[in-house]
Amino acid sequence: MTATILVVDDETRSIDTLRRVLEREGYTVRVARNGVEALADIAECMPDLVLLDVTMPEMDGFEVCQRLREKEETQLLPVAMLTGLNDDESRVKGLEKGADDFINKPFERTVLLARIRSLLRVRRLTDQLENTERVIFALAATVEARDPYTEGHLRRLAEYSYALALAHGCDQQQSRLIRYGGMLHDIGKIGIREAVLQKQGPLTPEEYNEMKRHPEIGAYIVNPMRFAGAVGPMILHHHERWDGKGYPAQLVGAAIPLGARIIAVVDSFDAMTTDRPYRKGMSEQDSLAILREGRDQQWQGHLIDLFIQLVEHGELPRIDLQTATRGE
Return d(Cα 214, Cα 185) in angstroms, integer. 9
Check which CATH number belongs to the domain holding 225 and give it.
1.10.3210.10
pLDDT of residue 79: 94
How many whole angstroms separate alpha carbon 162 and alpha carbon 204?
34
Based on the fold, state whether residues 177 and 270 are members of the same structural domain. yes
Q: Is 77 helix (H, G, I), strand (E, B) or coil?
A: coil
The count of structural domains within the chain is 2
The number of beta carbons lying within 10 Å of the beta carbon of residue 137 is: 21
Please compute the mean of the pLDDT values over residues 262-276 and round it to a whole number: 92
pLDDT score at 226? 72
Instruction: Provide DSSP, 127-143.
Output: HHHHHHHHHHHHHHHHH
Task: Please report, for the domain that includes residue 122, its CATH number.
Answer: 3.40.50.2300
Q: What is the pTM of this model?
A: 0.63
Q: How far is CA 327 from the centre of its chain?
A: 9
Q: Does the annotation mark 199 as catalytic?
A: no
Q: Is residue 13 part of a domain?
A: yes
Distance from C-alpha of 301 to C-alpha of 304, rounded to nearest angstrom: 5
Per-residue pLDDT reduced to its tens digit, 146-202: 665 566 888 899 899 999 999 999 998 899 899 989 989 998 998 898 888 888 788
Residue 132 lies in a domain: no
The answer on 238 and 201 residing in a single domain is yes
Contact 210, 188 (CB under 8 A): no
Name the residue range of residue 304's domain: 146-312
For 147-158, the pLDDT digits (tens) are 655 668 888 998
100 and 171 assigned to the same domain: no
Selecting among 97, 189, 212, 245, the annotated active-site residue is 189
Domain boundary among 62, 95, 126: 126
Q: Are residues 209 and 268 in the same domain?
A: yes
